Structure 1
Amino acid sequence: MRHLSLIGIIPLAFVLATSAVHAHALLDHAEPRVGNKVASPPHAVILWFTQKLEPAFSGVTVTNAAGQRVDVGKPRVSGNQMSVSLRGGGTGTYHVNWHVLSVDTHKTDGSFTFQVGP
């Protein structure tokens, strides 16, 4: 009986170990913080992820309250961090949309908002 119980445990341990290896790059935190309110438009949005990113297949766009893009130039990717410069876009709700490809080839995407104004 003891031999049979080990047979069931070994595959379960293998599945748990390999699922950790094949995790997706998820948004860990951002600046400005997700859902936060800042007094004036930031000069950049910086995103940190739970895994290293593939620069050629990762990107971010930022729009202001009027729906106009305020991101400037290409996003910069270094390790697990991605950032993009912003031009002033006034007050209101800003929308950040991102998509990434982690070094383990899994794609993820998402979005969040932050507020600008007094």
Structure 2
Amino acid sequence: MKKLKISAVVLGFLGALAMAGTASAHASLTEANPADGDELDTAPDAVSLTFNEELDADNSDIAVVDPDEEVLELAPAEVDDGTITQPMEYTTAGTYTVSYRILSADGHNVEGNLSFTVDEVPTATTEEDATDGTDDETADESNADDNVEETADATDESAHDDGQDDESGNFTKMLLVLLGAATVVAIVIVFVKSTGKQK
């Protein structure tokens, strides 16, 4: 009888442990790409996390912090069965921290984080480069406007100089005509006086 009682107690204890283990089981991360601590030459297009249970798409999300400790504004993460994928954008080379909060289909919440380092990021996705591109376009437009204004000013100055040259030329011609006329008049007067004396 004692042996039976002891066996019943042991079985009951083992059953309780099994039930407790089942009740305390949570979804766990089985794979991360990139993995925690990875150092990459080129930045990946997305971060994907795979869990051992199906995820609730409406209550699972990822947040990413850049090397300057700024939270990135990214497109919504996509959930497919037990995998959640976050499309990425980058601000600069350095370490990015990925924080996740997921809800498994059986109602278990799981939170965690990992980080990876990239040595080079796509230039098209950096905010600084985008700003530089805008500044360059603005500078080019400003330079073009300045060139147009300089050309217009040079044209006005050239026209003004041409007008002054025309006026100067006309004045010289008039002066020569007057001098010629005066010379003719002087010759006529001398000739008339000379003729009068001879008479």
Query: How high is the TM-score relative to the length of structure 1?
Result: 0.88
Aligned CA RMSD, in angstroms, stands at 1.8
Aligned partner of 2:62 among 51, 55, 60: 60
Tell whether 2:23 aligns with 1:15: no
Distance 1:90 1:7 in 2: 64
Change (3 A) 1:22 1:104: farther
Residues 54 and 102 in structure 1, CA contact (< 8 A), matched pair in contact too: yes
- Secondary structure of the residue aligned to 1:74 is coil
**What one-letter code is carried by the residue in structure 1 that aligns with 2:27?**
A
Distance 2:45 2:101 in 1: 21
Aligned partner of 1:88 among 84, 87, 90: 90
Which structure has greater strand proportion? Answer: 1
Number of matched residues? 118
* CA offset digits 1:67-87 (Å, max 9, x no partner): 233462111111111111001
Distance 1:35 1:103 in 2: 29
Q: Structure 1 unaligned runs (5+)?
A: none
**What one-letter code is carried by the residue in structure 2 that aligns with 1:23?**
A
Q: Structure 2 unaligned runs (5+)?
A: 121-199
Q: With CA pairs under 8 Å and 6+ residues apart, which has the higher RCO, 1 or 2?
A: 1
Residue 9 of structure 1 and its aligned partner are, at CA, apart by 2.2
Query: How high is the TM-score relative to the length of structure 2?
Result: 0.54
Distance 1:25 1:31 in 2: 18
